[in-house]
Amino acid sequence: MANEHLEQLYNVLLQSTELLQKALKSSMIDALVEVGDDLQAKSIHQEDGLPDAATSAKLSEQFKTINLNDYSAEEIRMALQLVLVKASEHDNLEPNQQVTPDALATLASFIITTMMPDMGEQLQIADIAAGTGNLLFAVMNALHDTKKVVVKGYALDNNEDLLSVASMSSALQDIDVELYHQDAIDALPFKDVDVVLSDLPVGYYPIDERAKGFATAAKKGHSYAHHLLMEQGLNALRPGGLGLFFVPSSVFKSDEAKGLTAWLASSAYFQGLLGLPESFFSTKSAEKSLLIIQKPGQGAKQAPQVLLGQFPELSDRAAFTKFIDDVTKWYRQNIN
């Protein structure tokens, strides 16, 4: 790790998490949450004699080597993310629950700033499949740091353990976010947000009765969860709001693609689809693309030419520069 300052925080978080995980005989994710909560509280939480005095003393010594006030919100998020990757591997989390790569946040932040040049002083962003909150928090930090906007977040997930990580992470970063533990296909507790951003879980939604009210629901059998979530996300946007969804690259090649396409044509402006590098994914079937849609209203319009292309490897400077220039040119010619 090139940044020694960041490496010190990462090492304290990782070593403390591993120490506590062994003492509590818990999952690594649960141990990380407790470490973060202890850092926030500036004390070691003990319950039923655990962790024992020796472990508590070691944790206290670890915590004394860092001062969270010396770190930016983004540095704290990055250190937590690195520990989360190790924790996900240790706990064998399923693919839908693993940490979203930072490159996806870089792409989302760029698209938001390009398509919303006049975002004003305040912005509301929601993630209806937030998991640990890493994608949402990375984008919130980026917009706050580069555009100096006040960003309010909404994070929703049906997994209580992952949402506990998001709660701990947002507290350490001092991020303004409201967290909701619920089924995202149920009635949402917020509306009229500026951006809905999600790395959508892929699979079938099991509650057919609840899915029936959606235009993207399957005619028979279970519906695709990612189709329903896109429709739900659009419903939560204000007129003219932006929906950014990381979806399977085969999203328009599936058996249910016809229904999804019909819904997009009738209810949203389909503005773009950007493929992600193969190196981001372990298998071809896991590959995703960024679907960009916009809610009609407030001057929004359908781009005459949909943005299609491939997000390059961040290490390829020339390709990355060309990508930024191409998207900026597309926006000027088709949206602005």
Q: What is the pLDDT of residues 221-268, one digit of tens each?
A: 899 999 999 999 999 999 999 999 999 998 888 778 888 999 999 999
Cis peptide bond prior to 277, omega within 30° of 0: no
Q: What is the overall mean pLDDT for the chain? A: 93
Range of the domain at 293: 95-334
pLDDT tops 90 at residue 37? yes
Answer yes or no: do 105 and 252 share one domain: yes
Answer yes or no: do 78 and 161 share one domain: no
Answer yes or no: do 80 and 149 share one domain: no
Answer yes or no: do 125 and 259 share one domain: yes
Answer yes or no: do 213 and 313 share one domain: yes
Domain limit, last residue, from 91, 112, 147: 91
Please say whether the beta carbons of 56 and 46 come within 8 A.
yes
Answer yes or no: do 122 and 80 share one domain: no
Give the mean pLDDT of 307-322: 92
| pLDDT tens column, 7-23 | 999 999 999 999 999 99
How many other C-beta atoms are found inside a 10 Å radius of the C-beta of residue 255?
Answer: 9
Beta bridge partners of 127: 155
Query: Which residue pairs, CB below 8 angstroms and at least 24 apart, start in 212-218?
Result: 214/185, 215/259, 215/262, 215/263, 215/266, 215/267, 216/256, 216/259, 216/260, 216/263, 217/259, 218/256, 218/259
Question: CATH number for the domain including 11?
Answer: 1.10.150.470
192 band by pLDDT with thresholds 50, 70 and 90: very high
Answer yes or no: do 102 and 196 share one domain: yes
Answer yes or no: do 71 and 114 share one domain: no
Domain limit, last residue, from 91, 121, 142: 91
Question: CATH number for the domain including 137?
Answer: 3.40.50.150
| pLDDT tens column, 69-115 | 999 999 999 999 999 999 988 888 776 666 778 889 999 999 999 99
Residue with more model confidence, 284 or 46: 46
Euclidean distance between CA atoms 133 and 202, whole angstroms: 18
Answer yes or no: do 135 and 66 share one domain: no
Answer yes or no: do 103 and 38 share one domain: no
Domain limit, last residue, from 35, 57, 91: 91
Answer yes or no: do 84 and 100 share one domain: no
Answer yes or no: do 17 and 137 share one domain: no
Give the mean pLDDT of 151-169: 96
Q: How many domains does the chain have?
A: 2
Helix or strand (DSSP H, E) at 112: helix 102-115
